[in-house]
Amino acid sequence: MEFIDEDLLRYSEDHTSPESELLHKINRQTHLSVMRPRMLSGHLQGRLLAMYSKMIQPQQILEIGTYTGYSALCMAEGLQPGGTLHTVDINEELEERVRGYFAESGYGESIKLYIGNALEIVPTIEAVFDLVFIDADKINYGRYYDMVIDKVRPGGYIIADNVLWSGKVLEKYRKKLDEDTQAMLDFNRHVHQDERVENILLPVRDGLMIARKK
């Protein structure tokens, strides 16, 4: 996931607005006590998500893949008054921890956490989304995108994480073509060729695909 010199990354973070005390706590506790902490968005990407959300000023946000709630709280910073952030995760073991963070944040009443299969849950959410963030199992990225595209308003955004997949989207950075890598290659191609959106793939952290619905 490291595509930039470590010292340059630290310089970038040092010249980026700091994360809140709660986000710092989530960051620290996730690395100390939760499996696969690299799944956390982290300081730099979190501030980018917050910045996008504040620019978009969404009324309705959908997140597929809550993990420990860091990215949800970042995006909640840009919610309009009375807006809602819907976040879905399949891991019930983290539910109590995440609900605690949300309650502590001050955004708790604006966030709806769903535990279960996003492919089953998202179609039941009656909302038109201004912003969607996909950061879940890679095999289903294409299915998630196709599921939400018609639920996004014109001018709304879909952001997908991990689209460079530790560089393995390029043949020189992989030993073999596994199913997750193939899924990311297919997803990136699908979005790039989708005439319903305009897109940019940013080499930030593990890669962010940003698609704006026309």
| 30 exposure class (CB count in 10 Å sphere: 0-12, 13-18, 19+) | buried
CA distance 76 to 103: 13
Domain map of the chain by residue range? 6-213
Instruction: Just give the CATH number of 6-213.
Output: 3.40.50.150
pLDDT in tens, 138-197: 999 999 999 999 999 999 999 999 999 999 999 998 888 999 999 999 999 999 999 999
pLDDT in tens, 15-36: 999 999 999 999 999 999 988 8
What is the identity of the amino acid at 136?
A
With a threshold of 0.75, does the pTM exceed it? yes
Cβ count near 45 (within 10 Å): 20
CA distance 70 to 43: 9
